[in-house]
Amino acid sequence: MAEGRPNVNVAIIGAGAAGIAFAIALKKQHGFENFVSHGSQEEIFEYWKEVARKNNLYSHISFNHLVSSAKWNSELSLYDISVTNTITGEHLQRTANILVSAVGVLENPRFADIPGVGTFKGDIFHSARWDKSVDLRGKRVAVIGSGSSAAQFVPIITKDPSVNVVNFVRSPGWLWRPVCNAWIPPVRGSKAEAR
């Protein structure tokens, strides 16, 4: 708890890179211990799991919780935060003096606006919401975009020779081999590897 501010609570929405980095800064620079970060377990990759472990953040994170609203209560000078446990469905109310939105820029995926897409008979999903029930074997797969997600999953799904991938790209990107790959261990358990 920060000295001189015994009643300060901080709510961090998101347990990805930004949320964890913010929580570490709170602990190191201000001595805060009274905060909760809401994020899904999927968002935290192996590297960030280790960072969180090293900084003793796990006791402050509520996994599988969705923040549905956060409203400023001017009478109490607090945020009233509505949270739902996505596993049990339990609705919770929290309060915080400080609210940090660290959900990331990719929290809500954007679909391409393609005329006639509503008449398509096949499966459609965004890579940020990968549908594990879809079997890609023997299918022709259209990938729209060449961002970091496509750079990760296209090589994996094309390992199966029966998957025919057509990648629509507006602007080609560059990929470069890691400069210091001998020093950086590969991340295991990533989303793309699990697919």
For residue range 47-64, list pLDDT tens digits in order: 677 888 888 888 888 889
- Find residue 100's DSSP bridge partners: 12
Four-point Cα dihedral 11, 17, 22, 25, nearest 10: 140
Asked whether the beta carbons of 163 and 136 are under 8 A apart, the reply is yes
Average pLDDT over residues 140-162: 90
Q: Where in the chain is the domain with CATH 3.50.50.60?
A: 10-101
Q: Say if CB 37 and CB 12 are below 8 A apart.
A: yes
CATH number of 10-101: 3.50.50.60
Of all helices (H) and strands (E), which one includes residue 96? strand 91-96
Average pLDDT, the chain: 80
**pLDDT for 64-109, tens place per residue?**
999 999 999 999 999 999 999 999 999 999 999 989 888 776 667 7
Does 183 score more than 50 pLDDT? no
